Amino acid sequence: MAVYMFEGIRPSISPAAFVHPMAVVIGHVEIGDGCYVGPGASLRGDFGAIIMEPESNLQDNCVVHGTEGSLTRIRHRGHIGHGAVVHGCDIGEDVLVGMNAVVMDGSVIGASSIIGACAMVKAGFCCEAASLLLGSPAKVVRQLDERDIQRKHQATQRYVELARRCLDQLQEC
């Protein structure tokens, strides 16, 4: 993996996290236990800090960044789909950000919410827990039921297990 210290700040990556060798981690970045960071992902802690709490996943080709002095936080079991951009925002616990979605600065996404694929969450947007956000600009279209949340939880668990499997079994050939 490409890990870079920036302005004297070294990324902190748990030995129990998997970061793919083709991912890039720069500066003020913390990656917790059981996290998965896929190939092509970029975590740029050069303007602001980034925290990935335990058992979160950041899939292939995601970008995590922020504005000067911001904190971008992906809370426990956050699930960031392929190609998503997470910028200067707070992704709540057990939230799913769909593939190619964009979540902008100052947004706060309530726990157990789902942001649909290709949604665009405007700067400063806030939503309650268990919200389903769709569209561009994203809007809350309904509250999630327990079945929705359980399916999302199962998908995230597969990535927690994938992190362990990759730590144990991924080999370049």
Residue 95, SS3? Answer: coil
pLDDT over 90, % of the chain = 99
Predicted pLDDT of residue 46: 98
**Distances, alpha carbon 8 to alpha carbons 11, 28, 45, 60, 107, in Å:** 10, 9, 12, 28, 29
Residue 39, SS3? Answer: coil
Q: Could you tell me the fold of the domain covering 2-169?
A: UDP N-Acetylglucosamine Acyltransferase; domain 1 (2.160.10)
Predicted pLDDT of residue 14: 98
With a cut of 80, say whether residue 1 has pLDDT above it.
no
Predicted pLDDT of residue 138: 99
pLDDT in tens, 100-153: 999 999 999 999 999 999 999 999 999 999 999 999 999 999 999 999 999 999
Q: Which residues contact 12 (CB under 8 A, 6 or more apart)?
A: 29, 30, 31
d(CA 37, CA 159): 10
Q: Which residues contact 35 (CB under 8 A, 6 or more apart)?
A: 14, 17, 18, 19, 52, 54, 55, 56, 57, 58, 163
pLDDT in tens, 51-97: 999 999 999 999 999 999 999 999 999 999 999 999 999 999 999 99
